Amino acid sequence: MAKQLTSRSENYSQWYNDLVVKADLAENSAVRGSMVIKPYGYAIWEKMQSVLDTMFKDTGHQNAYFPLFIPKSFFSKEASHVEGFAKECAVVTHYRLKTNEQGEIVVDENAKLEEELIVRPTSETIIWDTYRKWIQSYRDLPVLINQWANVVRWEMRTRLFLRTAEFLWQEGHTAHATEAEALEEAEKMVGVYADFAERYMGLPVLQGIKSPNERFAGAIETYCIEALMQDGKALQAGTSHFLGQNFAKAFDVKFVTRENKQEYVWATSWGVSTRLIGALIMAHSDDNGLVLPPKIAPIQVVIIPIFKNEEQLDEITKTVDVIIDELKSKNITVKYDNRDTQKPGYKFAEWELKGVPVRLAIGPRDLENGTVEVARRDTLEKETLQITNIGKKIENLLSQIQDNIYQKALSFREDNTFNVDTWDEFTDRIKKGGFVRAHWDGTSETEKLIKDKTKATIRVIPMDGKIVAGKCILTGEPSKQRVVFAKAY
C-alpha cells in the first residue's frame, strides 16, 4: 500500500529515511541540513534524556547552561581544537536587519559585531573560560557539570538523526585536581554510556579508546562506545574525552593545592546526541517499521478496541479501563487508541510502524471469553490471553522483549565480527561489512593508508579482553593487540 516501507535488502539507506519519516520521528526542515523532530521522535529523546539525566546525577553531576554564542577568540586558544572545528562553524557577524530602498530586508552593515560570535559546535572553550572564575583552590574541585543543549556543526552532507547541522545533545565538562581522577572520570562516563546503551537501548556496544586519528580535537585520549548497525556499518554512539591540561592551559585555569602550589586543572568532556535515535533505529528495526526496546519506548502498550458501534465501544472501554489501571500501577505506559476515525487494521499497521512493543486488541469476542489478543512487536507473534492478572503478564512480556531485542542485536554483532590476519582477507571482509579485528602497527600513517585503500577506520581499540600481540595486516610490523576496523557512519 501507500505506506509501505522500502525494504532493507532493497535499499538500506532509503529504508532508514522512509522509516524516520513514516514513523513520524522527524522530517527535513526548510533549513538545509536541519531537521524538525516531531512529537513521537522527541518523546524518544525525552525518554533517553530522563534516564541519562538520572544516571549523571547518580554519578554526582549537576546540570547548568552556558551560552549558545562563543567569541571567536576563544576558539583560537586551543590549537588542535580550532583545527578540528574551524571548517564547520556557523558565524554570527551582525546583530541587526534593516529595510533597504527596494523594501527588502537586508543585513544592516552598520551593525557589524566588533568580534564575531561562533555558534557553539561544542562548549569546551566557553566553559573553560568560565571555570577560570570558578576555580581557585583544590577545595573548589572537582567541578562536575553537564549541560543539555543544541549545537551546530555545518556538515556538508546530512542525514536525519545521524548527522544534522544542528543537533541536540548533552555535554559533560568536568574539572579535577589530579590526572588520575580525570582519567577515572572519563572512563567512568564511557561506562555509563555503555550501560545505558546495553540496558536501556538494547544496543550491545564495544568499549575502548580511539586511535590518534579518530581522537577528539583537543583530547589526550578519547574513549568511545561503538555499535554495529544491521547493514554492517559501525556507528559511534558516545564519546568521553580525557583532555589533560590542554584547556586549563589555554584558558589559564589554575588551582592552589594543599601544599600551596599553583597547578593546572585536569579536564574531561563527554557527550551523546540525538544520533542515538539513529542507532536505535538502525540496530533493531525491520521492514515493518520501528522496533523499540520497552525501556525507551514512549508508549509501551497500545490497546486497540474492535467495535462496530458506540455501545460496543462503551462495553469494551469498561474492561479496558480496568486493564489500563492495572498496567499503570506497574508503571507501564499505555495508550488506548479508541479513535473512531481509523479502522483497526489501520491502527495495527500504524503502531507497528511506530514500534510500540506490545499491542492488545480487544473486541466483542474477547469480552465474551474474558480474553485479550496480545501481539509483540519484536517477533510479531500473537496469542490470546486471559485478562486475569494481565498486568503481571504484560510486565513479564515487556522484560522478555527488552531482553530479546538485546540478544538479537548481540548475536548479530557476534555473527558479524571477524578476526583476520592477512591483507587480502581484510579487504574482502571489510567490503562485506561488520567489525573486523586485525593487527595494526600503531602508526597514524598506516591507519590513514588503510582508510584510503578500504574506507575502513579503526573504530575502537578495545580496553578489555586478552591482549595478544601480532603483526600488522598492512605493513607486517609488530602490533601490540588487535583493533576493531569497520566502515563507519
CB of 480 to RNA, least distance (A): 24
Smaller CB separation from RNA, 176 or 359 = 359
Smaller CB separation from RNA, 20 or 409 = 20
3-state secondary structure of 154: coil
Smaller CB separation from RNA, 56 or 255 = 56
Other beta carbons less than 10 A from residue 196's beta carbon: 23
CB of 223 to RNA, least distance (A): 12
CB of 134 to RNA, least distance (A): 26
CB of 210 to RNA, least distance (A): 9
- Conformation bin of residue 34: beta by default, left when phi > 0, alpha when psi is -120 to 50: beta
Smaller CB separation from RNA, 121 or 244 = 121
Residues 6+ apart with CB under 8 A from 269: 122, 124, 171, 172, 173, 174, 216, 240, 241, 243
Smaller CB separation from RNA, 167 or 426 = 167
CB of 386 to RNA, least distance (A): 13
Q: Among the residues of 59-205, which ranges form H helices?
A: 72-75, 79-85, 124-134, 179-199
Smaller CB separation from RNA, 274 or 402 = 274
Question: Of 209, 235, 213, nearest to 221 (Cα)?
Answer: 209
Instruction: Tell the residue number behind the cell numbers 522484560, with chain if given.
Output: 399
Q: Dig out the grid coordinates for 358 from the structure.
A: 506490545
Q: Dig out the grid coordinates for 202 from the structure.
A: 538494547
CB of 198 to RNA, least distance (A): 17
Q: Is 17 in contact with 160 (CB distance < 8 Å)? A: yes
**Alpha-carbon distance values, 258 to 131, 135, 139, 140, 144 (Å):** 19, 14, 9, 12, 20
Q: Dig out the grid coordinates for 11 from the structure.
A: 535499499
Q: Is 203 in contact with 197 (CB distance < 8 Å)? A: yes
- Which residues contact RNA by CB under 7 A? 1-5, 13, 28, 31-33, 87-88, 153, 155-159, 162-165, 167, 214, 216, 236-239, 273-275, 288-289, 306-309, 340, 343-346, 348-350, 352-353, 359, 361-367, 372-373, 375, 380, 382, 455
Other beta carbons less than 10 A from residue 212's beta carbon: 14
Smaller CB separation from RNA, 64 or 380 = 380
**Alpha-carbon distance values, 34 to 2, 26, 186, 210, 249 (Å):** 26, 10, 30, 28, 35
CB of 328 to RNA, least distance (A): 22
3-state secondary structure of 273: strand
CB of 467 to RNA, least distance (A): 26
Smaller CB separation from RNA, 140 or 155 = 155
Cα distance between residue 175 and residue 244, in whole Å: 10
